[in-house]
């Protein structure tokens, strides 16, 4: 009975934290879907459009938010960051909803991005810290399901209210505001992370923790491994997230509406990949799940190198990349990023890595259109094939054996037993 109650409590915490992913995906898709309407309404110049893209929830502002949020989550606690970030997010949404000029719109997009970046780092950390060690993948997978759901729901809403123009896009953003306020209410009622509260070294670490600590070899090697898996893979994922509707139309000769439907199907397969593969199997067979699903990205991008193209090829791509998104690099990175760092540095490490990934995507996105136009989509697919293959190999060769272990056990194996409080650590109930 106690076990059932504990699992129920963990589930509530997990769902409340996972809503950050719904909001993240929803913000990116809603911003992209409404861009052309804002351009028409405000008569935006090319430079203004570029600023909106650069400071959206998918790029610089989210990167800055992650850097700030990760540091604060280690300093003052996970709950303070992931609860109050929802109020900051609500402010950004309101600026978009009631904006009537470019500065208000840009401020809204930027505030949304900062809050999302901060929320993701704190939320991913608290999910892993609250999850039972035998079911950590299942709990972390909820966040990935929420991400896919956010993208699908916003795409569907955008289609349904598309005839309303800018008002329709504001309705989509308004629904995200409602979700944010519900999330804030849920999180206010939940306790702080047990790992953060109970860490014996936390009082001293709070005063000393900084991003410079992560440059120590014992931490830096893990950052290099995770960036080798996740950042390199994200160069392909960034193209998939923003440029795929254009690629669908160019390669498959499909209409814009069909391209949007294909993109929606991709996110549906992402959710299925998490729910049907990652969540039930990754806790016991993590490396196998990673290998198979990482290989799906290799298969997917290889399809664009075939001498024949068309709708069947696009459907195979949507299936393969959807499964990869759901149970490959993204989902496994979320687990490893929480497992490979001690409590006092866990959120900061995630903030730094999220910052590096989002900044890299922003810079890379500047070159993607040039490469596709000058050299063709086949060349771009070849580059991305190299990226996802390298990411898969790095993950398979260097992946740590952390399945089924508590975060404390992993921490002791990597960094040794704590200098003080060792006996207390042995007898304390593991989360």
Q: What is the pLDDT of residues 298-315, one digit of tens each?
A: 999 999 999 888 899 999
pLDDT tens digit sequence for 327-376: 999 999 999 999 999 988 999 999 999 999 989 988 888 888 889 889 99
For the chain, the 3-state helix, strand and coil shares in percent, each to the nearest 5, are 85, 0, 15
Separation of alpha carbons 43 and 38, rounded Å: 8
pLDDT of residue 295: 98
Say what the pLDDT of residue 271 is.
Answer: 94
Quick: pLDDT tens for 314-329: 999 999 999 999 999 9
Q: Is the pLDDT of residue 385 over 50?
A: yes
What percentage of the chain exceeds 90 in pLDDT?
56
Output the CA angle 358-249-373, nearest 5 degrees.
65
Q: What is the pLDDT of residue 317?
A: 96
For the entire predicted model, the pTM comes to 0.86
What pLDDT score does 421 carry?
45
Query: Residue 209 — very low, low, confident or very high, per pLDDT cuts 50/70/90?
Result: low
Which residues have a Cβ under 8 Å from the Cβ of 117 and sit 6 or more positions away? Answer: 57, 61, 62, 63, 64, 65, 66, 67, 68, 69, 351, 354, 355, 358
- As a CATH number, domain 18-188+207-427 is 1.20.1250.20
- pLDDT tens-digit series, residues 119-139: 999 999 999 888 888 889 888
CA–CA gap between residue 428 and residue 340 (Å, rounded): 21
* pLDDT at position 58: 77
**pLDDT bracket for residue 8 (50, 70, 90):** low
Cα dihedral angle (199, 204, 205, 206), rounded to 10 degrees? 100
């Amino acid at each position: 009975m106690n076990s059932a109650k504990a699992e129920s409590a963990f589930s509530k915490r997990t769902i409340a934290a996972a809503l950050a992913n719904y909001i993240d995906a929803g913000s990116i898709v809603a911003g992209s879907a409404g861009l052309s309407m804002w351009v028409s309404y405000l008569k935006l110049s090319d430079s203004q459009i570029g600023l909106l893209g650069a400071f959206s929830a998918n790029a610089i502002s989210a990167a800055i938010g992650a850097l700030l949020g990760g540091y604060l989550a280690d300093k003052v606690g996970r709950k303070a960051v992931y609860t109050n970030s929802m109020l900051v997010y609500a402010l950004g949404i309101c600026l978009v909803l009631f904006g009537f000029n470019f500065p208000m719109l840009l401020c809204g997009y930027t505030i949304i991005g900062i809050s999302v970046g901060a929320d993701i780092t704190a939320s991913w950390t608290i999910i892993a810290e609250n999850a039972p060690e035998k079911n950590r993948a299942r709990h972390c997978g909820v966040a990935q399901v929420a991400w896919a759901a956010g993208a699908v729901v916003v795409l569907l809403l955008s289609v349904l209210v598309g005839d309303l123009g800018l008002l329709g896009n504001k309705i989509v953003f308004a629904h995200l505001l409602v979700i944010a306020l519900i999330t804030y209410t849920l999180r206010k009622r939940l306790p702080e992370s047990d790992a953060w509260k109970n860490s014996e070294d936390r009082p001293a670490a709070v005063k000393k923790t900084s991003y410079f600590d992560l440059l120590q070899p014992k931490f830096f090697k893990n950052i290099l491994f995770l960036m080798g898996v996740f950042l390199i893979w994200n160069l392909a994922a960034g193209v998939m997230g923003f440029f795929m509707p254009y690629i669908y139309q160019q390669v498959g000769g499909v209409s814009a509406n069909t391209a949007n439907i294909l993109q929606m199907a991709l996110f549906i397969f992402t959710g299925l990949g998490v729910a049907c593969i990652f969540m039930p199997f990754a806790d016991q067979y993590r490396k196998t799940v990673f290998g198979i699903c990482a290989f799906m990205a290799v298969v997917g991008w290889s399809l664009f190198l075939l001498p024949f193209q068309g709708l069947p090829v696009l459907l195979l791509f949507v299936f393969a990349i959807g499964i990869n998104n759901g149970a490959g690099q993204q989902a496994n990175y979320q687990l490893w990023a929480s497992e490979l760092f001690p409590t006092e540095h866990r959120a900061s490490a995630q903030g730094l890595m999220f910052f590096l990934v989002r900044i890299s995507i922003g810079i890379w996105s500047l070159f993607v259109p040039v490469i596709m136009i000058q050299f063709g989509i086949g060349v771009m697919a070849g580059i991305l094939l190299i990226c996802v293959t390298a990411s898969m190999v790095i993950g398979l060769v260097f992946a740590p054996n952390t399945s089924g272990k508590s975060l404390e056990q992993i921490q002791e194996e990597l960094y040794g037993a704590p200098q003080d409080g060792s006996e207390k650590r042995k007898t304390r109930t593991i989360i």
